[in-house]
Structure 1
Amino acid sequence: MGKQPHVLAIPLPAQGHVGPLLKLATKIAEHGVKVTFVNTEFIEAKIMASMPEISAIGGSLIEFVSVPDGLEHGDIERDFEKSRNIMKKVMPGKLKELIEKINQVSDDQQISCVIGDVNAQWGLEVAQKLGIPSAAFVTYGPAILALQFHITKLIDDGVIDADGTALKDGLISISEGNLPWKFDEFPWMVRGQGKIQKIIFESSIEVVECVKMSNWVLSNSVYELDASSCDLVPNILPIGSLLASNNSRFLAGSFRPEDSSCLSWLDEKPIGSVVYVALGSSTILNQAQFDELAIGLESSGQSFLWVVRPDILWGPVAIFPDGFKKRIAGRGKIVEWAPQEKVLAHSSVACFVSHCGWNSTLEGLTMGVPFLCWPFFVDQYQNSRYICEAWKIGFELTRDDHGIVTRHEIQAKITKLFNEESIKGNALKLKEKATNSLAEGGSSYKNFQRFIAEIKFS
C-alpha cells in the first residue's frame, strides 16, 4: 500500500476565492483523497460563524486548519495594498511551518500536492521550494488568464505601457477568435486609483510565473464556454462549474449567514416571475445609486428578491426611500445574504441583476438564468461582454453621464428582458452545455478525473 495522497488547499482570503476552492476541496475529498484546507484565522472565524454546519459536514471530509496572517480585522477588505504586502511577508513562513508540522506526524500522511489560488502566490512558491507538486487554481475566467499570458507581448508591441495602461483607444485583440478587449476595461484598470492599478497589474504578471511553476492549472470554467481562450493557456484543465448544489455535502464557504427564508418566499411566486438582484460581496454603492435601484425595481412592476448587505454603502447604513418597504410589501423581499445557487436554481427566478463576478456568472449561466449586467471593476466588464455579446444571454445596464444607472434604465431593461424570448432560449442552451460538461464523459468531468488519477498515482 502506497502513501495516501494528501492535498493542502490554500485560497486567497476573500469571499470569491475561498468559496470555489472549498467546493473543489470537497469534491476532491469525496474521491478518497485526504484534504487539509488552510484559512487565515480571521477568515476561518467568519466561515465558522456563518456556517455552523461546516464543522459537522466538513469535518468528515476535510480537515480545517488556520494560520495567523499578520493582519488586523478589516485590512483584507478595506486596505488592499497593506493586506497584500503583509501577507506576502508573513504567509510563506507560516505555511512552511504548517507543512513541516503535518509531514512530521506520519510518513503516510505527508502533503503530496498543494492546490494554491493563483493570486495567493506564496502558497505555490512554498510548494516549489519544498519540492511538492502543485496545482494553480484559477477562480476567474480563462479570458483573463489568456490576457495575462499576453502582457509581455502587449508591452513589446506598444499596446500597453509598463503599468498596464493602454496606449491606444478602441478594441484590443490578443488572438483571432477571442472576444477583443476595450482599452479601458483591462482587469487591472482601476479608475482614479493608480497605486491599486499598479499592484493588480504586477499581480497579473506574477500569476503567469505561478502558472508556469505549477504541475496543473485548474480553472473553474467550462472549456466549451471559451475554447479559444483556454487554448491560449498551457496545461489548463477547466473543471467547472464548481457548484455546492451538485452535492448536499458541498460547502459554499460563505462569510455571511445565508437567509433561507427567501426560498419559501420564492415558492409562493409564479414560474419565471422574480428578478433576483445581488451585486456581490464587495460592491459599494452611494446613496443616490441605491435610491435609483430601489425605485427602479419598484417601478418595474415585477416581484424581486434583493440582497442588501449591511456594508453595501460606504460609511452609513443604506436608507431606503420613504415608504418603499411598505409599497413593495409582498412583491419585494430584501435579505442581507442569500443561498445564491439555490435561488438561481429556483423556477420562479426570471433574471439575475448581477455585478458579473466570475462565480456569479458561472452560477447564473449553469442554472440557465438570463442576466442584467452591472459590472464595477476587475474582470466584471469582460464577463459582462461575454454575457451580452458572445453568449447573448443578457443585457447590460447602461450608466448615464454621471455614472448612475437610473431608475428608468433599470425599469426599461427589466421589461425588455422579460419580453426577449431569444435571450431565454440562449440561456437554456448554455445551461445544457455547462451541465453536459459535468456529466460523465463531459469535458469538465474528464479533466477532473484526470487530475484525481494523477495525484493519486503520481
Structure 2
Amino acid sequence: MPAPIQSPAVFFQPAESARHTRASKSMAMAPSSKPAKTTTPHILLLPYPAQGHVNPFLRLAKALHARGLHVTFVHTEHNHGRLLRSRGLGAVTGAADGFRFETIPDGLPRSEHDATQDIWALCEATRRACPAHLRELVERLGRTEGVPPVTCVVADGAMGFAVHAAKDMGLLAYLFFTPSACGFLCYLNFDQLVKRGYVPFRDESYFTNGYLDSPVDWITGMISNLRLRDFPTFIRTTDADDVMLTINIKQCELDAPAADGILLNTYDDLERAALDAIRERLPNTFVLGPLGPEVSPPSYLPSLTSSLWKEDDRCVAWLDAQAADCSVMYVNFGSITVVTRDQMVEFARGLADAGSPFLWVVRPDMVRDDGDDDGKMPVPDGFAEEVAGRGLMVGWCDQEAVLGHRATGGFLSHCGWNSTLESLCAGVPMLCWPFFSEQVTNCRYACEEWGVGVQMPREAGRGEVEAAVRELMGDGDKAAAMRRKAAEWKEKAVRAVAAGGSSQRDLKRFVDEIARVKG
C-alpha cells in the first residue's frame, strides 16, 4: 500500500507508459542494509520551494522519467502540505514506477498558511538547514529496498548548497536555473556591478533620482540598451551585505562553477547571444526549453501536477463561450506578486473600461494586508454585476490551457519567466507589469528585443490600464506587429523541442551524460 501521508516518502503506483508496464501490486517501503542491485540512474531533483520554480522542475522530472531514469522529486514539508490541501493525495501519489516524492524541512517555523513563504527568509533558512537533511535523504534512499542508489542531484540555482553536499557524497551535481538566460546572465554579472561601483547604492535617493537609468553596455551577450533598472531588483540596495545580493553572488561565483553542468529552460533561437555568453563562462550548459507538453506530453503522468493552489475549472468553459477568437485579455500577476487594495480597484476599473472580455486570476493571498480585511473581493462595489458575462475572476487557473485557448488574445503579466515563456509558446502578446527579481529583465527583452510586449508603468492607474488593453487588443499597426512576432517565436519554440531540435538534442546529451554513472 502507499505510505501514509505523514510519511516523508510517498510512492507512486505503476502506470502504463512507453518504458514502464503496470505492476500487479503497489510498492511498499522497507529499509535494507544493501543498496538495490541495478544499473538504472537515479536522479534526485530539488527545486526552490516556490510555485515558479516547482513548475519547471516537475516538467523536467517527467521528461527524465519518460527517458528511463529513476526520479525522486523533493518538496519541502510546507509545500507538501499545500499540495495535499489544494490538490489532494493524487498530487503526491499516483501513477509511475520509478517516480517518487520525498520531503525535507525548509528550516522555517511550521505554517499551515497556503501562501508563498517569505523569499528572503526562505533563502537563508534553506541554505542553513537543508544540506544535512539532503544528506540524510540520499543515505536513506540508498538503504531502501527496490530503489537504486542516488547517482545524480539536480538542484535549483537558488538551492546551490546542494552542489557541495552532492559532491561530498561522490554524486554528480547539476544546477537548474529557472530564470531566462538573459536574467541568469544578469545574475552572473552581479559581482561586476559591485566591483565597478554600481552597487550598493550610495543612499536612498538613488532609487528615485534617475540613477536606475544608468546605461550598462559592457556585458557581452546582453542587449545594448540595457539600463541598471533592467537588472534583477536584488541589486537595489544600499547595504553591501544585503542577503539577496550576497546569496545571488555566491550562487554564481561559487555554486555554479562547482556544478557538473547548468540547465536552462529556454531555447537557442530566443536567447542565442545571452546563451553564447553563458557558455563561454559555464561551458557545460544544457538548454532544454521550453519544458512543457512538447517535451513531456500531457498524456504522460497526467495526475502529477505542481499547482500549489486549487485551479478553478470554469475557465476553459467560459473561454469556449466567447464568440470571437483572440478577444479575451488574460490577467495574472503570478504566484508571488502582492498589490494594494487601491491597485486592485484601479486595475478593475481599467479592465472594465477597456471593453474587452477578461479572465482575471486573483490569488487568495494577492492583496497586501492593509487592515481592512472584510473577506470581500477587493474591487469596486457593483463591479461583478457590471462585468457579468464579459469578465471572470478566479483564484487560480491552468495557465497553459488559458494561453493556448483560441479566445485568448493578450496577457497582462508580471513577466515571470514561466509566464513569459508560456506566452511566447502560445503566440500571445503581452502587457508587461513586472514586480521584482528578473521580471524587469524579461520585460525589457519582451518589449525591446522580442517585439511582443508593451510595458505598463509601475503605478499604473485605471487610465493607463484601459489605454494599454485597448492598444494590445486593437487592430492598430503596433498590435498587429506584436501578434506577428509572437507567432514567429511560437514557431521557433516548436522547432526547438521537435525531434532533432536544439532543445531535444541537449536533453538527450544531458540524459546520456548522467546515464554514464551507474548505481
TM bin, normalised by shorter chain, reads over 0.9
> 1:255: which partner in 2?
308
What is the SS of the residue equivalent to 1:172?
A: coil
> 1:183: which partner in 2?
228
Distance 2:481 2:406 in 1: 18
Within a 5 Å distance, the mapping from 1:142-161 to structure 2 comes to 142-161=181-200
In the alignment, does 2:132 pair up with 1:93? yes
In the alignment, does 2:63 pair up with 1:33? no
Contact 1:374/1:397 (8 A) holds in 2: yes
Distance 1:262 1:154 in 2: 44
Match of 1:412 among 467, 487, 495: 467
Specify the structure having the higher radius of gyration (Cα): 2
What is the SS of the residue equivalent to 1:105?
A: coil
- Between 139-148 and 436-445, report the one with greater CA deviation: 139-148
Deviation of 1:386 (Å): 0.8
Contact 1:190/1:196 (8 A) holds in 2: no
Distance 2:387 2:240 in 1: 40
In the alignment, does 2:191 pair up with 1:140? no
User: Which residue identity is paired with 2:161?
Assistant: W
Deviation of 1:354 (Å): 0.2
Distance 2:129 2:480 in 1: 53
Deviation of 1:58 (Å): 4.9
User: Which residue identity is paired with 2:150?
Assistant: I
Match of 1:6 among 39, 42, 52: 42
Deviation of 1:177 (Å): 4.9
Distance 1:395 1:222 in 2: 22
Distance 1:244 1:310 in 2: 28
> 2:291: which partner in 1?
242
Deviation by residue 1:260-311 (Cα, 9 ceiling, x = unmatched)? 2110110111211100000001111111111110011111111000001111
> 1:282: which partner in 2?
336
Within a 5 Å distance, the mapping from 1:251-400 to structure 2 comes to 251-269=304-322, 270-315=324-369, 316=373, 317=375, 318-399=377-458
TM-score, L = length of structure 2: 0.82
Distance 2:63 2:147 in 1: 22
TM-score, L = length of structure 1: 0.92
User: Which residue identity is paired with 1:293?
Assistant: F
Deviation of 1:39 (Å): 0.9
User: Which residue identity is paired with 1:46?
Assistant: R
Contact 2:212/2:229 (8 A) holds in 1: no
Relative to its length, the structure with more helix (as a share) is: 1
Distance 2:95 2:105 in 1: 21
Distance 1:56 1:357 in 2: 29
Distance 1:89 1:183 in 2: 31
Within a 5 Å distance, the mapping from 1:118-133 to structure 2 comes to 118-133=157-172
Deviation of 1:80 (Å): 3.6
Distance 2:102 2:95 in 1: 12
Distance 1:80 1:146 in 2: 21
Contact 1:23/1:252 (8 A) holds in 2: no
**Are residues 266 and 58 of structure 1, via their aligned partners in 2, closer, same or farther at CA, if it must alter by over 3 Å?**
same
Distance 1:382 1:220 in 2: 16
Distance 1:200 1:188 in 2: 10
> 1:66: which partner in 2?
103
Contact 1:20/1:252 (8 A) holds in 2: no
What is the SS of the residue equivalent to 2:379?
A: coil
Identity %: 33
Deviation of 1:76 (Å): 8.4
- Structure 1 gaps of 5+ residues are none
Q: How many residues align?
A: 453
Contact 1:244/1:252 (8 A) holds in 2: no
What is the SS of the residue equivalent to 1:116?
A: strand
Contact 1:393/1:426 (8 A) holds in 2: yes
> 2:246: which partner in 1?
202
Distance 2:167 2:227 in 1: 36
User: Which residue identity is paired with 1:247?
Assistant: P
Contact 2:414/2:433 (8 A) holds in 1: yes
What is the SS of the residue equivalent to 2:454?
A: strand
Distance 1:3 1:138 in 2: 28
Deviation by residue 1:156-183 (Cα, 9 ceiling, x = unmatched)? 3344459999988521024345224322
- Structure 2 gaps of 5+ residues are 1-36
> 1:227: which partner in 2?
272
User: Which residue identity is paired with 2:353?
Assistant: S
In the alignment, does 2:214 pair up with 1:170? yes
Contact 1:189/1:197 (8 A) holds in 2: no
Deviation by residue 1:360-385 (Cα, 9 ceiling, x = unmatched)? 00111011111000001111111011
User: Which residue identity is paired with 1:186?
Assistant: F
> 2:19: which partner in 1?
none
- Between 155-164 and 22-31, report the one with greater CA deviation: 155-164
Deviation by residue 1:217-271 (Cα, 9 ceiling, x = unmatched)? 1101112111111111222211011125842335441100111211011011121
Distance 1:348 1:107 in 2: 48
Deviation by residue 1:72-103 (Cα, 9 ceiling, x = unmatched)? 22598454443333322221111101111111
Deviation by residue 1:39-69 (Cα, 9 ceiling, x = unmatched)? 1111111123322333454554520011222
